[in-house]
Each structure stands twice: as structure tokens, then as C-alpha cells.
């Protein structure tokens, strides 16, 4: 790993192992997800002043009024998306600082991550390359409509709250695949899981969550 990625050295590996123990206590039990959370240096994806807090179970600001989701939220979305099996192609909507994409990079062959704020994409690309991750493609794009050109995806993970899940997004999920998205607005949001099964599309409302809103256009 580069000097950037190894910056905090052993301390952060130990801190990360403690984070993983906490995730297990919180109910995350997919071994692949836990291993990925243990492997990705979360501190590389947050700004220097906040690096000492990178492994706390809390969202943190990443600039441009956006936040990196808490470790639990990232692990939970990844666990639901993965169903305990290796994935081929994954689409992330709301790439932010690139951390969740980095975790997904260890769970899938290829990750396409869409982020509407160009400055965040620039930083995210730097952090991903500092970690020598080369199976994540981050694009500056409004992901509200997904990315049909590269569909279908084994999983779609949405990291910004949408008022509802549009049919055109569901149409980009491969049979047997899943979409995980926060649905609602403000304090009234729930994580929703869409599964494309043989017998049809099944939608399930899960726990209450709090994400930044999905916005239109790029900036
Ligand atoms: N997964 C991210 C979480 C970022 S927060 C991480 O690991 O850091 C959600 C992100 O969604 C923000 O960066 C925000 O700019 C982005 N976003 C909001 N609306 C969007 C849209 N329509 N298309 C793409 N990204 C969007």
C-alpha cells in the first residue's frame, strides 16, 4: 500500500479490527463483508482532520455538504446486496468519497459508481488509487435513472434517499439480484430491498435510516 494508505499504520489496523468486532455485535454476519470492512482503510477516504475518527460508528462530513455513511450502514447495505455470494457487476448510486465503492470492490468483479459532484469524484478516484483498487469505475453523473447502458447488475446500492424506487431502476437488476435503497425524505426514511425473483419483483421495507437526499443534475 502507498504511504497515504498506510498513514496511520498498525494503530488503524487494530482500530479497524475493533470496528469489525462492533459490526458483528450489531448483527453483521456475512464473512465476506466483514473481511472487506477489515481490509479497506476507511481513514484514507476521509479528510485528514477527521482521520482519527474514521473508525467510529458515525457518519462524517466529506465536503460539499455530503457525508460518508457510518460503518454499520455501509456494512448493512453491502450484506443485503451480496446475499453471501460473489457478485459480478454492481452499480452504486451516490459514490461520495468512494469508501462504499472500495468495500464493494472486494465483493464484486466490477463496480460502477455514479456521483453527481465532480469534486467528490476527483477525491474518491485519488483515494481508490491510493488503495490500489482498479475494479471501480467512478463517473460524474446524475444516477437518478441508474445506468442502463451497462445493465443488468447483480446488485444496485443507492446511498442517497429517493422518494420512491423508479421502475427504470428495477429494470436494471439481473434476475436473482437485489437493489438496496433508502426511500423517503428527511427523518422519514426506510431502507428498502427490491429482489428480482422468478415469481416477480418483491419489495420489502426494512429499518429506519437517515441518508442525504438524492438530487438532480451534476455539479
Ligand atoms: N457511498 C458514499 C456515501 C455518500 S453520501 C460513501 O461511501 O462516501 C451520498 C452521495 O450521493 C453524496 O455524495 C451525493 O452527492 C450523492 N448523490 C446525491 N444525488 C445523486 C444523484 N442523483 N446521482 C449521483 N449521486 C448523487
Q: Which ligand 1 atom sits closest to the C-alpha of 114? A: 24
Peptide bond into 38 cis (omega under 30): no
Decide if 3 is inside a domain.
no
Cell matching residue 141: 453523473
List the domain range (segments joined by +) for residue 45: 9-208
34-55 pLDDT per residue, tens? 999 999 999 999 988 899 899 9
Asked if residues 191 and 209 have their Cβ atoms less than 8 Å apart, the reply is yes
Q: What is d(CA 81, CA 154) in angstroms, rounded to the nearest whole number?
A: 8
Decide which of 51 and 140 is more confident: 140
3-state SS class at 34? helix
Decide if 217 is inside a domain.
no
Decide if 218 is inside a domain.
no
**12 belongs to the catalytic site:** no
CA of 116 to the centre of ligand 1 (A): 7
Catalytic site residue from 12, 69, 113, 144: 69
Decide if 219 is inside a domain.
no
- Which of 91, 64, 93 is closest to 162 using CA atoms? 93
Give me the pLDDT at residue 12, please: 83
Decide if 97 is inside a domain.
yes
Decide if 216 is inside a domain.
no
Question: CB atoms < 10 A from the CB of 112, how many?
Answer: 27
Decide if 193 is inside a domain.
yes
Number of structural domains in the chain: 1
Rounded to an integer, the average pLDDT of 186-201 is: 95
70-104 pLDDT per residue, tens? 999 999 999 999 998 999 999 999 999 999 999 99
- Which of 122, 137, 146 is closest to 214 using CA atoms? 146
Rounded to an integer, the average pLDDT of 147-165 is: 98
CATH code assigned at 131: 3.40.50.150
CA of 115 to the centre of ligand 1 (A): 5
Rounded to an integer, the average pLDDT of 130-156 is: 98
The radius of gyration of the chain's CA atoms, rounded to the nearest angstrom, is 16
Decide if 213 is inside a domain.
no
Amino acid at each position: 500500500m502507498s504511504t497515504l494508505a498506510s498513514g496511520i499504520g498498525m494503530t488503524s489496523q487494530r482500530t479497524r479490527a475493533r470496528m469489525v468486532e462492533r459490526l458483528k455485535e450489531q448483527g453483521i454476519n456475512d464473512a465476506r463483508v466483514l473481511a472487506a470492512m477489515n481490509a479497506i482503510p476507511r481513514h484514507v477516504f476521509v479528510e485528514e482532520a477527521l482521520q482519527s475518527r474514521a473508525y467510529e460508528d458515525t457518519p462524517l462530513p466529506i465536503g460539499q455538504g455530503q457525508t460518508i455513511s457510518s460503518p454499520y450502514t455501509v456494512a448493512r447495505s453491502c450484506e443485503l446486496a451480496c446475499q453471501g455470494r460473489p457478485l459480478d457487476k454492481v452499480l452504486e448510486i451516490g459514490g461520495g468519497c468512494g469508501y462504499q465503492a472500495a468495500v464493494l470492490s472486494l465483493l464484486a468483479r466490477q463496480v460502477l459508481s455514479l456521483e453527481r459532484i465532480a469534486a467528490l469524484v476527483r477525491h474518491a478516484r485519488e483515494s481508490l488509487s491510493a488503495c490500489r483498487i482498479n475494479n471501480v469505475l467512478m463517473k460524474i453523473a446524475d444516477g437518478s435513472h441508474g445506468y442502463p447502458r451497462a445493465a443488468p447488475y447483480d446488485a444496485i446500492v443507492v446511498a442517497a434517499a429517493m422518494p420512491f424506487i423508479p421502475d427504470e431502476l428495477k429494470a436494471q437488476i439481473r434476475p436473482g439480484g437485489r437493489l438496496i435503497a433508502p426511500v423517503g425524505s428527511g427523518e422519514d426514511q426506510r431502507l428498502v430491498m427490491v429482489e428480482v425473483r422468478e415469481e416477480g419483483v418483491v419489495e420489502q421495507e426494512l429499518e429506519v435510516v437517515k441518508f442525504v437526499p438524492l438530487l438532480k443534475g451534476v455539479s
